[in-house]
Structure 1
Amino acid sequence: MLTLYSYPPLFGVADNNGYGLKVYAFLRLAGVPFKHEHIFDASSAPRGQLPYIVDDGETIGDSNAIMAHAKRKYGVTIDDALTSAERDTDLLVTRLLDDLYWVMSYSRWKDELYWMQFRDALLREHPQLTEESLIAAKEFNAQRYHFQGIGRYEPDDAMARGLADLQVLAHLIPEIGFVHGPAPSTIDAGIYGFIANIYFYDIATPLKKFVDAHENLVRHCRAIHGMVTVGKRTEQHLQFHEP
């Protein structure tokens, strides 16, 4: 059976990282059976990044590569009816979510207005963590942000960038149904991975305030959340692997 390795849950979502939650939601929507292992330390993962999967001895990293593998191996058909224009839209939205990721991460680990609330939430939900390990992770992430570029922004400017991304999603998500029609497709799983980590995030960042104020984003998020959290098509393993 396929095993998904990703970061731990937080605030009621299966992974507190948008990429891992995207893959989780995709596998659930696609009906692919899998085990879910939560880990904190990504150093042994492909490219040192989560999520990754192990499937019949094959290890695959990168969320998009994981989903492409699952489509080929398990005959996933949720995107089969998409037009070439819709596939182009999906790629553009995927790249937008990559940009949004950095702002979301910045709001947790770097913005001092929210950092301590995030730290306390992690320690409360995962007491095996230590404050020292989280401070080390904060410093590591500060280096990542600097080299990526978002770390050179002032907090308000970083948030403005993320809000612009969310505004595009607010224009894209319909009032009813999903991005490409009445049934969800892969891009809906991707959007859910990030929006759920804002909407269910119990800290009032500007990103969360924006999502809360847009009924279509909330409806879409809650619809996918209901689909991927009900039922027993996945085996959850909550014994965390320590760094």
Structure 2
Amino acid sequence: MIELYQFSPAWDLPNPSPFCIKLELYLKMAGLPYELITQNDTRKGPKGKIPFIRDAGQTIGDSELIIQHLKTKYGDRVDSSLTADQHARGHLIDRMLHDSTYWVLLYCRWMEDNGYAAVREAFFSGMSWPLRTIVPPLVRRGLKRTLMGQGLGRHDREQIFSFGFAQMETLSVLLGDKPYLLGDLPCSADATAHGFILSFVGPPIDNPMREWIRRSANLMAYYQRMNQRFYPSLAQAR
């Protein structure tokens, strides 16, 4: 059986990481049996990141490479019916969310004071003193340097959120009135998109991105539809 290593749950969500949610959703969509194993030490992953999987003795990191592995080994159970145009659209959605929206999420959680307070409580409160007082600010400073290096951190708050709004508007337009992003059935792009929407809307962290998504009728209907299909207990709780 596939072993899926991911962070501990937080905020009554399946996982605090959009990439962990994405990968678990893909496994659900593909109907592949898996065992969830909690792992909070990113150094344990082969890419220094979480999630990762172990499959028949092979350890694979990075959600995108993992999905490629699963498609190669078990067949493309999720995206095989997509047209070339749909595959291209799905790829662009993944890249936008991975390479742009992720950094806005990181900013919301770590640079905004209310986000940082929620993350500190959820991720570090179980640490012994004095680590729980020392580690969070060190991580925050490191992520601030990362955001500066990536480029998003060089913009002011209003500009950062304007980028995020544009990305959610793009997602809303691509979804339109369809049940899922590329048609009548969920695909791997939906796994990615729901991982990010849930990561903004689900945690008890108010910010402009959360507010924008909540005002989007089709994205919120999509959010509930995905929860009802893949996380029914979460849909009932919300």
- Tell me if both proteins adopt one fold, taking TM over 0.5 as the criterion: yes
Q: Which residue of 2 aligns with 1:158?
A: 160
Mapped to 1, the partners of 2:178 and 2:11 lie a distance apart of 26
> Where does residue 112 of structure 1 map in the other structure?
113
Q: Please identify, of 70-79 and 157-166, the stretch whose mean Cα deviation from structure 2 is larger.
A: 70-79
| Residues 173-196 of structure 1, C-alpha deviations (whole Å, 9 max, x = no match) | 233411122211111111001001
Q: Distance in 1 between matches of 2:214 and 2:79?
A: 29
Is 1:80 the equivalent of 2:83? Answer: no
Instruction: State how far apart, in whole Å, the 2-side matches of 1:131 and 1:13 are.
Output: 25
Percent of residue pairs identical: 26
More helix by share: 2
Cα displacement (A) at 1:202: 1.3
- In 1, are the aligned partners of 2:194 and 2:226 still within 8 Å (CA)? yes
**Structure 2 CA distance, aligned partners of 1:73 and 1:97?**
26
CA spacing shift, 1:38–1:46, aligned 2, 3 Å: same
List gaps (5 residues or longer) in structure 2: 234-238
Tell me how far apart the structure 1 counterparts of residues 191 and 33 of structure 2 sit (CA, whole Å). 16
Corresponding residue of 1:175: 177
- The structural deviation recorded for 1:89 is 0.5
Is the contact between residue 175 and residue 182 of structure 2 (CA under 8 Å) also seen in structure 1?
Answer: no
In the alignment, residue 157 of structure 1 is paired with which amino acid? Q
Q: How far is 1:20 from its partner?
A: 1.3
Gaps of at least 5 residues in structure 1 are 232-243
> Cα gap change, 1:39/1:143 in structure 2, threshold over 3 Å: closer, same or farther?
farther
Which residue in 2 is equivalent to 1:148?
150
Q: What residue in structure 1 maps to residue 207 of structure 2?
A: 205
**Counterpart AA for 1:117:** A
- Report the alpha carbon displacement of residue 52 of structure 1 after superposing the two structures with TM: 1.0
**1:230: Cα distance to partner?**
4.4
Q: Which has the higher contact order (CA 8 A, sep 6+)?
A: 1
Aligned counterpart, 1:19: 19
**Matches of 1:136 and 1:35 in 2, distance apart?**
33
Deviation, 1:38, is 2.3
Is 1:226 matched up with 2:231? no
Aligned to 1:127: 126
Specify the alignment match of 1:63 in structure 2. Answer: 63
- 1:92 maps to 92
8 Å contact 1:102–1:150 — kept in the other structure?
A: yes
Q: Deviations over 1:128-170 (max 9, x none)?
A: 4724322222122122212111222222221111111111011
Output the amino acid matched with 1:69.
H
2:192 pairs with one of 173, 184, 190:
190
**Separation in structure 2 between the aligned mates of residue 172 and residue 86 of structure 1, nearest angstrom:** 11
Instruction: Give the TM-score normalised by structure 2.
Output: 0.89
2:236 — aligned with what? Answer: none
> Is the 1:170–1:217 Cα contact (8 Å) retained in structure 2?
yes
3-state SS of paired residue (1:9):
coil
Q: Give the secondary-structure state (helix, strand or coil) at the position aligned to 1:46.
A: coil
Q: Is the 8 A contact 2:114 2:205 kept in 1?
A: no
1:19 corresponds to which letter in structure 2? F
Secondary structure, counterpart of 2:44 in structure 1: coil
Name the TM-score, length of structure 1 as normaliser.
0.87
| Partners of 1:4 and 1:37 within 8 A in 2 | yes
- Whole-angstrom distance in 2 between the partners of 1:102 and 1:221: 21
Q: Secondary structure at the match of 1:3?
A: strand
Runs of 4+ aligned residues of structure 1 deviating over 6 Å after TM superposition are none
